[in-house]
């Protein structure tokens, strides 16, 4: 890489860091901690649900050294998002972007407080989009849908911090639940904004879940021509004992529709799994061994 290109890259990263860092806090709770991002005025911050766990209070430390106590307004384990509110002055809200407009290869900058080191910055590119992440907490399994994969280094403590694009807009909330060496972030888009708004008003989100992990995959040519649909969601893992498992979904199935609505990525499923479908009969059409198969799933409510 020549020096001119390196300088341009460095300028982009440093400009984003300077804009976003003041809006990112280090948060400490009774058990552990992480990072959080101011996303609305009046002291509202967004972080990961796994960062707050079952705690209801903690302390936020901003990049200028200001410390403020906060309360947990609500958390949604399925999206791994939680909303906090500081009891005191806080920086203004960061600018939010739309993760649905990201493309693979795009520059992103991760800002957080790994190991309590405020204002730590790493940079990389979007490696993949539309991933689903299986997570197990004790004996309960769940799936975080539609995460952003990046090669920006993330370590414990980065969780809940900002993933920003080159314009300084926050497009994701970093999560390090996958461990070292794999950068993942919950996207900021229309679906997660709905989740955040619900947390602000109600303190919780009634969420249904199926319990499948999938990746986008193209449909065979003859099926695409017959259905007019060009992509589906390839099942790579079925959470044991979950609704999808009980319905008979299998690894290798290519999901075409959920509730008779077309599915092409994990977010398409997530959009259909809010509280109103809990306990209902939900038709799932899959392509299995070259044949279309309908199964009926009964989505469960995510608890804990």
Residues annotated as part of the active site: 50, 80, 159
d(CA 253, CA 250): 6
Please tell me whether residue 110 adopts helix, strand or coil conformation: strand
Question: Cβ atoms within 10 A of the Cβ of 216, count?
Answer: 18
Whole-Å CA distances, 92 to 12, 24, 65, 81: 22, 10, 16, 20
d(CA 22, CA 63): 6
d(CA 221, CA 51): 44
Please tell me whether residue 201 adopts helix, strand or coil conformation: helix
d(CA 148, CA 249): 25
Is 87 in contact with 75 (CB distance < 8 Å)? no
* Nearest to 267, CA basis, from 206, 197, 193, 203: 193
* Nearest to 158, CA basis, from 38, 75, 48: 48
């Amino acid at each position: 890489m020549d020096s001119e290109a390196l300088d341009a890259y460095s300028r982009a990263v440093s400009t984003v860091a300077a804009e976003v860092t003041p809006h990112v806090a280090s948060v400490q709770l009774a058990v552990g901690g992480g990072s959080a991002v101011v996303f609305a005025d009046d002291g509202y911050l967004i972080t990961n649900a796994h960062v707050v766990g079952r705690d209801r209070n903690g302390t936020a430390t901003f990049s200028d050294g200001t410390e403020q106590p906060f309360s947990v307004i609500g958390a949604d384990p399925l999206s791994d998002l939680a909303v906090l509110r500081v009891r005191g002055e806080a920086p203004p809200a960061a600018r939010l972007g739309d993760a649905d407009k990201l493309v693979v290869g795009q520059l992103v900058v991760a800002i957080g407080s790994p190991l309590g080191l405020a204002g730590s910055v790493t940079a990389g590119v979007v490696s993949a989009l539309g991933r689903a992440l299986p997570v197990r907490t004790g004996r309960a399994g769940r799936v975080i849908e539609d995460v952003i994969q990046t090669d920006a280094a993330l370590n414990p403590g980065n969780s809940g911090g900002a993933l920003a694009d080159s314009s300084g807009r926050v497009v994701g909330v970093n999560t390090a639940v996958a461990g070292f060496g794999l950068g993942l972030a919950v996207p900021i888009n229309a679906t997660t904004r709905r989740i955040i708004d619900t947390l602000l008003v109600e303190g919780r989100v009634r969420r249904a879940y199926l319990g499948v992990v999938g990746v986008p995959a193209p449909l065979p040519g003859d099926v695409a021509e017959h259905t007019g649909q060009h992509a589906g969601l390839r099942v790579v893992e079925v959470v044991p004992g979950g609704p999808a498992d009980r319905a008979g979904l299998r690894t290798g199935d290519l999901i075409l529709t959920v509730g008779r609505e077309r599915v092409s990525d994990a977010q398409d499923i997530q959009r259909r799994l809010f509280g109103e479908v809990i306990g209902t009969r939900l038709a799932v059409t899959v392509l299995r061994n070259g044949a279309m198969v309908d199964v009926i799933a009964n989505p469960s409510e995510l608890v804990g």
